[in-house]
Structure 1
Amino acid sequence: MNKLRLFLVFTVGFVLYFYFDALTFSFFQKEATLITQSKAAGHILAYIITLIPLFATVHLLKKDNKTIFELLGLVGSPSIGIAFASTATLPMLLGYAVKFTMNTHLSLNTIIINTISSAFFEEIIYRAFLFGMLYRLTRLGFLPSVFLGSLLFGAAHLYQAQNLSQIIEVFAITFLGSLLFSWVYAEWQFNLWTAIFLHCFMNLYWLVFNVDEVAIGGTYANIFRLSAVCIAIVLTIIYKKWQKRPLEISKRTIWIQQNKEYI
């Protein structure tokens, strides 16, 4: 596939998904919830249906015998993702457990929707597609590839903000979070489960303890969260050294990927 066609398919596919999702997600979620009598099931089914244009786009972009699941990074080991993410986020679990009280008003539906479902589908959209397709299928480097997805990921969380100051802070934190998830995804050999579970556990601990209603958080919350980020980075570097592999994101791949071959 030539460059022009690839970018055209990518752009048209995402635009179709974006508007299809914006126009129909609430409808499908409501109908699926009525049918299944489960808010969580309705949320998951609505995501699956509205992501059809995105899956179709990945199918058009794939080469040779590679499957959609391979291009989306879903053929990697989930157990590696769980082990990595649970270790990295341990400071959040322990710190929040000591410093904050448990949220006793949570329902199972809320936990599934705000942790498992959101993390899984957001990583498919923002990391596997918006970042992954550009980085893996073109010679664009990490920063150009990650910019659009991180911009939209940050914008998607602005509903948490109540004023201009919070808008700036929420956007900055979620934008940087997107950079981290994308870097983790790339460095763990495009195993999306690493980013999914890192995202999931971070959301889970923030939810089950009374930390904050928005992504900004207070001093202690951010100390524990920053500790988790540092451990995630250190674990990733240790993993690369153990695998005897160079870092995927380096000077040679930060802007333009040198000697890049189509996967």
Structure 2
Amino acid sequence: MWVHPQFNPVALQLGPLAIHWYGITYLAAFGMFLWLANLRVAQPAPAARGWVKRDVDDLLFFGVLGVVLGGRLGYVLFYKPAYYLANLGEVFAVWKGGMAFHGGLLGVILAMALFARLRGRSFFEVTDLIAPCVPTGLAAGRVGNFINGELWGRAADPSLPWAMVFPQSGSTLPRHPSQIYQFLGEGLLLFVLLWLYARKPRLTGQVSGMFLIGYGMLRFAAEFFREPDDFLGLRALNLSQGQWLSLPMIAAGLLIWWWASRRRPA
């Protein structure tokens, strides 16, 4: 049986400056987005819409603000509002961990809406461009979760070859390494599917809708193996809060894809 190695969350200490693994994974996520987005604007469909490489730098700036602010505030509001209300000084202590994908998604939506307005583009034209570049960032975030030994999985059959003990959980139960499942599903698998889907010309909004559908379904499935946080009370019908938050995402993706499919191409 595997045992989580309990990595030091600090990757490098330079005097009083501590560089955390979690921060490095975010830096890697933004770097991969920059690389993939530059490849994306060179594809025939985005290039035909007038996208150029200099747009990518501005998109990254808006995206970073949306991800960091939205992800952190989403975690604060969705998961531990009472704790952070009593500890306001820790609200923006992102180096201690605690980012919510659904909050980050809302933050990116607002940031991209602002970018679209400033550039005179439609909102879905912007999100269709960036959607295939997002899953690798999600994969990097799950690597950070694994290094930190957080968001461990539910108890697993001891005979499962990759079952792992997470001492951080306070028990010696073998568990599913759910961070790895999410890395492979919401990260790599979703990236491959979306990248291949977006390579062909699509109607405005279809790529964005497919992203919401794909992520929502893969996250919903992963939650069956991920241990729900003890401080969350929303578990109606034996579904976790992550699953309840994924359902409207899937519904919105289906609605957007259907709406986009019925529109005439510009």
Larger RCO: 1 or 2 (CA < 8 Å, sep 6+): 1
TM-score normalised by structure 2 residue count? 0.35
TM-score normalised by structure 1 residue count? 0.35
Structure showing the higher strand proportion among its residues: 2
